[in-house]
Structure 1
Amino acid sequence: MVRAFTGLMAFWVIAFIFSYMRQVELQNIVENKTYSNVKGCLTNYKVKKPKQGTIVESFNVGNVDFEFSNYDDPLYFHSKDHLDNFLKDGQCVSIDYVKKGGSNKIIKISSSS
């Protein structure tokens, strides 16, 4: 019983440290402004529901592709971050993003004129 508790606590501590390190990494990106920015209007906006409870959204701004789902990393913008459906073709935005794992992760998205 003690070994199981110790193992569980060790796992929790490692998971916490890993999560904290990722948050610090993102904070450094924002503070040092080492992210990219694109401004323009959304094109090719699509919403897919490949299975019950999953929403995948994709669109382009200029020549930059974005895709995210409600199961994506909560550190970055994802489908759970907006319920008002403000994303649509023709919506003009400014997006701060980083390239991570082969895709563009949104740090901040805001409407622009």
Structure 2
Amino acid sequence: RGLRSPNHPPPSPSLSLSSLPLEMQHALRRAVSSGTGRRLASTLIVAEHDGAKLAESTLAAISACGPMKPITLLLGGSACKPAAEAAAKAAGVDAVAYVDNPALDHGVAEEWAPL
């Protein structure tokens, strides 16, 4: 299955959209599909954060994607709600979806793919 860094835990086989609480599933679907009629011109940014605020690289990505509206941010990790609330206030952001799950803490693609 490939090499894995010893600093990253193995992927959780149970992480999927259906494993999330129902209200979170609905919120994520709404956020991602909120640009009905404009779907071909929407932008999704997987945001980096420290649990409280967005990383400078994410703010730069939002700025660079300014003309590519609407912009939706996707945040994941344990206790990421404060970062999601801060992201909702960032200039240029139209929607924010977050998944509070420790399996997403390390940015391993296998964990994020089901989202």
Give the TM-score, by structure 1 length.
Answer: 0.23
The structure with more helix, counted as a fraction of residues: 2
The structure having more radius of gyration, on CA atoms, is 1
**TM-score, normalising length from structure 2?**
0.23
Q: Which has the higher strand share?
A: 1
